[in-house]
Structure 1
Amino acid sequence: MRPHVLNDSRTGALPDADNLVDSLVHDGLWDAFND
């Protein structure tokens, strides 16, 4: 399982499909040789 980031968590947002982001994609940690 990959770690996820909850956007707007400081404002009390609940986790749903709109504000839950994969942190590997968000941080740009892609494998340059296999993607």
Structure 2
Amino acid sequence: MSNLDEKIAWYKSIGLFLQVFGLALILARDLARKP
């Protein structure tokens, strides 16, 4: 059961990382577009 909890926590951390990374990517793209 603990193995499943570890997987869930791992997937949650990966999802959070991807969300933050995507947000940073969009912000960087918007900043780069402005002169």
TM over 0.5: no
Computing the radius of gyration from Cα coordinates, the structure with the larger value is: 2
Higher relative contact order (CA 8 A, sep 6+): 1
Q: TM-score range by the shorter chain?
A: under 0.3
Structure number with higher helix proportion? 2
